[in-house]
Every structure is written in structure tokens, then in C-alpha cells.
Amino acid sequence: MNSIHSIDVEMIDGEVISLSKYKGKKLLIVNVASACGFTPQYEGLQELHNMFGDILVVLGCPCNDFGGQEPGSEQEIQSFCSTSFGVTFPMTKKLGIVNETHPLYAWLTSQEANGVVDAEVNWNFCKFLVNEDGQLAHFYASAVAPASEEIIGWVKA
């Protein structure tokens, strides 16, 4: 089974990184949007980053594939997140999930690639939990809050 650590992503500031940078840490990967009913979850994501930043990387992945709710440029997204929610966790450039699927989401949503589950991302703020070894552990739909018992329990385990 392939690890997520073999995937490269372009960050919101234009830097390209390998997710191997996060080996040894858990990952919470979330497709985010600035104009969504779930946008207030940025606050909970930032709280997780503040509380568990030594063992957890929250990775926000802006996406405009669901309801056109992330129409802005990377600079506009970064400014909105920083100003509105004090976001300091890492964010990627806009990634395609449904349209022009980025390799990260191709891996996250395909059991053949991730070895765990075929996951359907059908809206903004879906959450993927990846363990320290780069293996998919869990998938949660948008309505599951970042500070839910399921997510906090997994981070602490």
C-alpha cells in the first residue's frame, strides 16, 4: 500500500512540498471553502492546530468544486482565513477534487490507492485522518466538527 508521504502538494504561498515532510505526525486533511455554511469550522481547525501542533498537522485544502464556494485567489483565501479566523495552519493552493482531481484527493478517495476506503467527498469540510506512517485512518463527512470526540480521541490515541 502506498503512503500519502509520496505525494507532493503546492502550498498557498507557491512552495511545493512533499507530504513526507510530515512523517511522524498525524494529518487532518480538510477541503475548505470561505463561503460555506461549514466555514466557521476554521475556528475548530485552528484550535486543533494550537492544541496538538506538536503531534498533528492540520492541512487545509481550498477547493471550489462544491457550490463554487471558494472563488477567490490564493491571496484572497489566505487573507480571509488569517483575518477572519486567525488561521496559521498550513494551506495548499486550490485543489480539484471532482474537477481535475489532484493526486492527493485521488489517493484519499480511492481504496485501491489508500488501502482503506473508497471515500466520496460530496461537500466542503470533509475530513481525512492520516496516521504518522502516512496511512489513511478515518474519513468523516462535513458535519463532523473538528473538535468532535471522534477526532480528538484519535489525535490523543
Q: Encode pLDDT of 35-79 as tens digits.
A: 999 999 999 999 999 999 999 999 999 999 999 999 999 999 999
Class of domain 4-148: alpha beta
* Distance in angstroms (rounded) separating the CA atoms of residues 80 and 78: 6
pTM: 0.97
Ordered by start, the domain boundaries in the chain are 4-148
From 36, 61, 81, 126, active-site residue: 36
The answer to whether the beta carbons of residues 124 and 38 sit under 8 Å apart is yes
pLDDT in tens, 72-116: 999 999 999 999 999 999 999 999 999 899 999 999 999 999 999
Per the annotation, the verdict on 36 as an active-site residue is yes
